[in-house]
Structures are given as structure tokens and as C-alpha cells.
């Protein structure tokens, strides 16, 4: 374990003006609080906080963060309290230690709803002071370095949580070195065979080709010396997990994967970065599509660098990153560079981002999320994706996640632009809205008055901001449509029992059914969450037309074994009075098909699964849903008359879905609850006689599975 003098020495290396007394006091206090505690390895527990503090000294962080690392487990695991720490070390450190304690108690790998709420708390902690997350990441890194001492099941849980949450978070914060190490340590637990295989291939490759990294490093240095450029050159083999991920993404074996080496050139100034790029491209052939200039278009976490991939020695692809020393500091520390010290003073790095602004920019994207699914979708998108930079026609830069579309671009500019988008031009050429944007493209959004978001846009958009805006617009539009449809369904249902759907009646029904308003009730009826018949029955139960002596659904089928489960097939929706046959399914019981259902051809070679069945004779309940495919004129009052016609046949409309809307016709799928085949025939005959019905047929979909 590093002693207190050793830790202070690590801090002094970058901050000679460190408050030695503060660190010494925190060290002794933490050691005393953890006295007698041990880790799974049997080592003294206090070794862990000291190791976390040492990791943070590598990022040259301030005294408050180092002290927080030393004390980060005291409130949770010892008799220490917030008040005591505040008294001894000040409010700032007490707040930081308390923040880390709260993060430690979050179960980020729990169920989705709980996970979303915990993510909210995590980002709230980030917004208060980002140093809390820096300590937590260092804590996780040391725990992963020593994970072999934990139970196997606990190792897998922590490794999965690290791979899913902490590694991407470190990458999003610009701490790529930490992300690489966290991923590789988790990879060692989750897939040790794959990791060992890659390491063995590396050893074989080095034996066959020699020290490729040393050779290519010398080649690059030779080229730069010839150009008179002062720069440091470093080479490395990529981490096993990084190689594994590339193999999985590209579907290639190790032998076909070429860019497994990375090289870094650190220059004195920005001008030299571009001189280095020119020298490398003159010496080696650049690989098309593998050039990124993050100097002219920095990432949101402050990262600046030039990336290029070239065909190097013996045709091997190598990635080269070129940046200045100040850019390199930000590339290594990410947003943590804001707190970095050099020679006892806060380093004034022009490329370090303001953490408060960075967190604000990150969290504002989540504010529009209205449920846990949306929130998790936004968070994980922000944490896992790289960025592309596109331009407006006026030359303004818009940052988007990789894979974003013109729709995301439109919503990034303004919600009003996104909502009224009708098309887009990329580099002057009209493209579909689902086109994936690339770095450097110029995007022009075409808008039109009256245009509204379409439901299909949800699948096209990538960013959380766009998806939230689209969902919000659709909810408003759908609610208005559902209220209108619900009012019509209620009117028909009330008239069916000789009553009127007055405002007072609907208000009473809404109150009895637990809805805040009539519109809330009607919206639920229109969206088929409840039926209009239920609304009538809550007010007039004595007028329900459900016959008391009708055959119950559970006993409607003859030929089943006692207690045997069954269900109507969704593909053909058989009703009483039609010839039927059953197909047995393991775990599902028997699925009832109409005898002419085309799906039955799939079971011709499995006669042992066929069950001879028939409907019991007698009067059945009107609960057998059949879908009708109806095309009607797009004229005022037509839909209302269709609903009235169905109601007059004592049939209930369970749901409606608009398949196609044209200026002159609507095509609608109407789910109708019926008693039997005769009832179905009566309803269809009444509809066919209506002059505004252009076509009518029973809708059957073989793709609907049981």
C-alpha cells in the first residue's frame, strides 16, 4: 500500500503547492475509520481508497478530489458521518464524499424502470459536481483490477455493469484510456476464451513478423525528421476487446483484420499537426473514408485530434492520431482536464471544456423523456455513440450522433423545423429522410406549412430530442383523433340501449371509471383501452344485452380435454358456427383455426398435432372479435353512419385502425365483437348495402401468429 508520504509525493509531482496537511489528515482519518476492515483478497481495506486516490493523481486532479478518494467509503462503511467530515475537512469535501456514497448505492444494472431512475440520479450528481463521477470511475477501475478475488457470480455482475455503464461513460467524458482498460478488464471476466485467443494470435503474429510497432514507429520518425518536424511518436497494439469488437462488427477473423495497431504523433503546435498529416499521406496511401479532423470540428467533450488510417509497412493498415501536447492532455483526461494542475496552479488548457456546460448540454437532451424507456434510450445513445458534424446552408455546424438522419438534423435546429419537415437535400441532392449523414455534409431542410410528424418518423430518427418531439406531437394528434372516435363510439353504444350520450352521462361515467375528464374517458374508448359497452354498463347495468343463459367462452368448444387451454387463432379469427380444427402447441394448449385457414398447410406433415373440434350449439356471448377491412368515402358523417350501422346490428366496435388515408377514400380495419357466423353475416350485409362503402371483406392475415 502507498504510504502517506508516497501519495503526497505523487501529488507534488504536478502540484508543488498542494495542501500536504489536508491530505495527511484525510489519510490518517480514513485509515483509522477503516481499521480492522479487509477486502476479499485479505488485504487491509484502506488500500483500496489509497489506490483510487493514486489513480486520480495520474490525471493531476485537485486536492479536494484526492481527499474525496481517500474518504469515499467512510460514510457508507464506517461510523463516520457527513457532519463529522464537514467539520474536519470542509463542506466541499463532505458534499463530494456524500455524492460518491449515493452513487455507490445505485443499482445501475437493476430492472429497466429502476435503472432509469438511477440514471437520473447519476446525471443529477454529475450536474452538481463532475468530480463525483471521476472518483466513482477510479473506484470502479481499481475494483475491476482486483475483481479476481470476488465470487464468480459477482464478477460477472460487476463486469457486465462496467461494460454497459461505466466504460461508455468514461468514453463519453473523453477518458478513452480508462474506457479501454475498463472494457478489457470486463472482457477478461465475460469472455476469457475470446480474450486469450486474441492474445495468442498477437504472440504468433509478433513471432512471424517481428516487432512491427517498433519498425513503423521508426518509419514515421524518419519521415518527420526529413520534413524537419519536432514531434514525439508512440505506437501500441490495440486492446484485445477493441480488436474483438472490430471482428464482431465486421464479421472478420483475426487474420483479415488489418488495423490492429495504433500510432500517436504529439506535436508542439497546431500547424505542425497538418504538416505531419501531409508527410504521412505523402509516404503512405491513405485509406478512403478513414479520415477525421477533430481539430477543426472538436467533440463536445473537448477532444481534438486528426485521425487517419494508412496502408503502412507490408501493406498493414495502421491508424495514426495527430495532436498537440495540450490537445493530448484533454484526450487523456477528457472533461477532467478542467481540474488538472501543473506546477501548483490550475492548468489553463484552452481545449478543456467547462464541465458545467458539458453536463448541461448532455442532460438537456433527456428532459423531454416522459417515460423510463425513452430516458434510457436517450442516455445510452448519448453514452455509446460517436459524433458526426454537418453544416447548415449558412455554414453553421450541427453536432449529431453517428447514424443520425436529416430528421435528427432538422430537430437539432428547432422543433418547429423538425415538425414541418417534408424533405432534405444533402450536398445539394434530394435524399430520403432515412439517409445516414456523414461528416462534413451540408444539409438543407425543406419545410411546408401544415406538415405534421408521421408515426414512421419514430423509426427514422436517432436522437432523443427528435424522438421525444415526434412522440409528443403524435400524442397530441392521436389524442384529438381518439377523443373524436371515442365520442362517436359512445354515441352508438348509448343509442343501442335507447339512451343518449349526454355530457352529464359521460361525466358520471368518467367519474365512476376513475378518469379526470370526459375527454380522458373518450380518448381511452377511441384507443380501445376500454370499450364503449363498458361505459354504458357502468351507468345502465340493467340494460346490458348480454344474455344470462349464453354459452360461456370457457365451454364454447367441444372436443377438448377437461381443463385444456385453448385460444382462437389470430390469423383467421374463427367464430361459432364455422367449421374448426385445433392445432396443439407445447406450452400453449390448442389453437383454434377455421377449417379453410391457409396457415393449416404448414401442419400437413404433423397429423399428430391436429385436434378434431367443433363449437357447442346454442347462443354464444358477443365476444368473438373479427376484423373487417372496409374502404369508405372520405365525406362528412360517413364514419359515423358506419358505426351506427354496426351498432344497430347489436355488435360492438372494439377497435379501429386507419390503414390508408386518401383525399377521397379511407381504408379502415374495424374490430367487431360478434356472437357467431350468422351475426357476422348480418353485420357485413348491412355494411355492403351502404352506398358509401366502396369495398368490404373479412380481414385475414396469415402472418399473425397464435
- All residues at 6 or more sequence positions from 641 whose CB lies less than 8 Å from its CB, including other chains: 690, 692
Longest dimension (CA), the chain: 100
What b/e string do you get for 339-360 counting C-beta neighbours within 10 Å, with b at 16 or more? bbbeeeeebebebbbebeebbe
Q: Which of the 8 DSSP states describes residue 551?
A: B
- Residue recorded with cell 402472418: 703
Beta strands in 334-480 (DSSP E): 341-342, 345-346, 387-391, 397-401, 421-426, 429-431, 443-447
- Other Cβ atoms closer than 10 A to 607: 7
- All residues at 6 or more sequence positions from 632 whose CB lies less than 8 Å from its CB, including other chains: 638, 639, 642, 665, 666, 668, 692, 693, 694
What does the radius of gyration of the chain's CA atoms come to, in whole angstroms? 34
Contact criterion met (CB below 8 Å) for 271 and 303: no
CA atoms within 13 A on the CB side of 197: 12
Contact criterion met (CB below 8 Å) for 180 and 188: no
Alpha-carbon torsion (108, 109, 110, 112), positive or negative: positive
DSSP per-residue letters across 195-254: HHHHHHHHHHHHHHH--HHHHHHHHHHHHHHHHT--EEEEEEEPPHHHHHHHHHHHT--G
- Other Cβ atoms closer than 10 A to 451: 13
Describe the crossing of helices 152-161 and 131-145 by its angle, rounded to 10 degrees: 140
429 backbone dihedrals φ, ψ, rounded to 5°: -115, 130
**Which residues form the catalytic set?**
76-77
At 296, list the grid cell: 477543426
Task: Work out the burial of residue 663: count CB atoms within 10 Å of its CB; fewer than 13 is exposed, 13-18 middle, 19 or more buried.
Answer: exposed
The whole-angstrom distance between residue 50's C-alpha and the CA centroid of its chain comes to 36
Find the angle CA(460)-CA(463)-CA(464) to the nearest 5 degrees: 115
Alpha-carbon torsion (370, 372, 375, 377), positive or negative: negative
How far is 680 from 625, CA to CA, in rounded Å? 10
Q: Which of the 8 DSSP states describes residue 313?
A: G
Describe the crossing of helices 518-526 and 464-496 by its angle, rounded to 10 degrees: 90
How far is 74 from 34, CA to CA, in rounded Å? 7
- How many angstroms separate the Cα of 689 from the Cα of each of 253, 479, 652, 697? 66, 32, 19, 13
At 23, list the grid cell: 491530505
- Percentage helix, strand, coil for the chain under 3-state DSSP, each rounded to 5: 50, 15, 30
Describe the crossing of helices 82-89 and 91-104 by its angle, rounded to 10 degrees: 150
Q: Which of 589, 585, 569, 601 is nearest to 701 (CA)?
A: 569
Residues paired with residue 447 on neighbouring β-strands, in sequence order: 421
How far is 238 from 245, CA to CA, in rounded Å? 11
Amino acid at each position: 500500500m502507498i504510504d502517506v508520504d508516497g501519495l503526497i509525493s505523487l501529488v507534488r509531482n504536478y502540484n508543488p503547492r498542494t495542501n500536504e496537511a489536508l491530505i495527511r489528515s484525510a489519510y490518517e482519518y480514513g485509515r483509522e475509520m477503516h481499521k480492522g476492515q479487509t477486502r476479499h483478497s485479505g488485504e487491509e481495506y484502506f488500500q483500496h481508497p489509497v489506490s483510487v486516490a493514486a489513480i486520480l493523481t495520474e490525471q493531476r486532479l485537485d486536492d479536494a478530489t484526492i481527499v474525496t478518494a481517500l474518504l469515499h467509503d467512510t460514510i457508507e462503511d464506517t461510523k463516520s458521518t457527513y457532519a463529522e467530515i464537514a467539520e474536519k475537512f470542509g463542506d466541499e469535501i463532505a458534499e463530494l464524499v456524500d455524492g460518491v456514497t449515493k452513487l455507490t448505492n445505485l443499482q445501475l444494472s437493476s430492472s429497466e424502470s429502476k435503472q432509469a431512475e438511477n440514471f437520473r440520479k447519476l446525471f443529477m450528481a454529475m450536474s452538481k459536481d463532475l468530480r463525483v463521477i471521476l472518483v466513482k470511475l477510479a473506484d470502479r477501475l481499481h475494483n475491476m483490477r482486483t475483481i479476481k478475488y470476488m465470487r464468480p457470480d459477482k464478477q460477472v455482475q460487476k463486469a457486465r455493469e462496467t461494460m454497459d455503464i461505466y466504460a461508455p461513460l468514461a468514453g463519453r467524458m473523453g477518458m478513452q484510456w480508462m474506457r479501454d482498460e475498463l472494457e478489457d478488464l470486463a472482457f477478461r471476466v465475460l469472455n476469457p476464451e475470446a480474450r486469450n485467443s486474441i492474445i495468442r494470435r498477437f504472440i504468433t503474429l509478433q513471432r512471424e513478423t517481428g516487432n512491427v510497432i517498433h519498425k513503423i514507429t521508426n518509419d514515421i520518425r524518419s519521415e518527420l525528421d526529413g520534413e524537419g518536424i519536432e514531434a514525439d511518436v508512440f505506437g501500441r497494439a490495440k486492446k484485445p476487446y477493441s480488436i474483438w469488437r472490430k471482428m464482431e462488427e465486421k464479421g472478420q477473423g483475426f487474420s483479415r483484420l488489418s488495423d490492429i495497431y495504433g500510432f500517436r504523433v504529439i506535436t508542439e503546435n497546431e500547424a505542425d499537426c497538418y504538416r505531419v498529416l501531409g508527410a504521412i499521406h505523402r509516404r503512405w496511401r491513405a485509406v478512403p473514408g478513414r479520415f477525421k479532423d477533430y481539430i477543426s470540428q472538436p467533440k463536445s467533450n473537448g477532444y481534438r485530434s486528426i485521425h487517419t488510417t494508412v496502408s503502412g509497412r507490408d501493406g498493414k493498415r495502421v491508424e495514426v492520431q495527430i495532436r498537440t501536447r495540450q490537445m493530448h492532455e484533454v484526450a487523456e483526461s477528457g472533461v477532467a482536464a478542467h481540474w488538472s494542475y501543473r506546477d501548483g496552479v490550475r492548468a489553463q488548457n484552452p481545449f478543456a471544456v467547462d464541465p458545467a456546460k458539458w453536463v448541461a448540454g448532455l442532460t438537456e437532451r433527456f428532459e423531454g423523456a416522459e417515460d423510463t424507456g425513452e430516458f434510457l434510450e436517450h442516455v445510452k445513445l448519448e453514452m455509446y455513440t460517436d459524433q458526426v458534424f454537418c453544416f447548415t446552408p449558412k455554414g453553421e455546424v450541427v453536432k449529431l450522433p453517428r447514424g443520425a438522419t436529416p430528421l435528427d438534423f432538422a430537430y437539432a435546429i428547432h422543433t418547429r423545423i423538425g415538425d414541418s419537415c417534408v424533405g432534405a437535400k444533402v450536398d445539394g441532392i434530394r435524399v430520403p429522410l432515412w439517409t445516414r449523414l456523414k461528416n462534413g455534409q451540408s444539409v438543407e431542410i425543406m419545410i411546408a406549412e401544415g406538415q405534421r410528424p408521421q408515426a414512421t418518423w419514430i423509426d427514422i430518427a436517432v436522437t432523443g430530442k427528435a424522438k421525444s418531439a415526434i412522440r409528443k406531437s403524435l400524442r397530441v394528434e392521436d389524442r384529438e383523433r381518439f377523443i373524436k372516435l371515442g365520442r362517436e363510439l359512445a354515441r352508438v353504444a348509448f343509442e343501442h340501449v335507447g339512451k343518449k350520450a349526454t355530457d352529464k352521462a359521460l361525466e358520471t361515467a368518467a367519474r365512476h371509471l376513475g378518469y379526470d375528464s370526459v375527454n380522458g374517458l373518450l380518448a381511452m374508448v377511441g384507443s380501445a383501452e376500454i370499450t364503449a359497452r363498458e361505459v354504458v354498463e357502468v351507468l345502465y347495468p340493467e340494460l346490458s344485452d348480454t344474455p344470462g343463459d349464453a354459452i360461456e367462452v370457457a365451454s364454447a368448444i367441444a372436443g377438448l380435454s377437461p381443463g385444456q387451454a385453448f385460444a382462437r387463432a389470430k390469423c383467421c379469427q374463427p367464430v361459432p358456427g364455422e367449421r374448426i380444427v385445433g392445432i396443439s402447441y407445447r406450452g400453449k394448449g390448442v389453437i383454434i383455426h377455421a377449417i379453410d385457414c391457409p396457415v393449416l398447410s404448414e401442419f400437413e406433415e404433423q397429423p399428430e398435432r391436429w385436434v378434431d373440434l367443433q363449437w357447442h350449439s346454442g347462443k354464444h356471448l358477443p365476444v368473438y372479435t373479427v376484423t373487417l377491412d372496409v374502404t369508405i368515402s372520405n365525406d362528412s358523417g360517413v364514419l359515423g353512419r358506419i358505426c351506427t350501422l354496426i351498432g344497430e346490428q347489436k355488435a360492438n366496435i372494439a377497435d379501429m385502425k386507419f390503414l390508408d388515408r386518401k383525399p377521397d377514400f379511407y381504408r379502415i380495419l374495424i374490430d367487431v365483437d360478434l356472437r357467431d357466423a350468422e351475426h357476422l353475416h348480418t353485420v357485413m350485409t348491412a355494411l355492403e348495402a351502404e352506398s358509401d362503402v366502396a369495398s368490404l371483406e373479412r380481414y385475414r392475415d396469415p402472418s399473425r401468429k397464435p
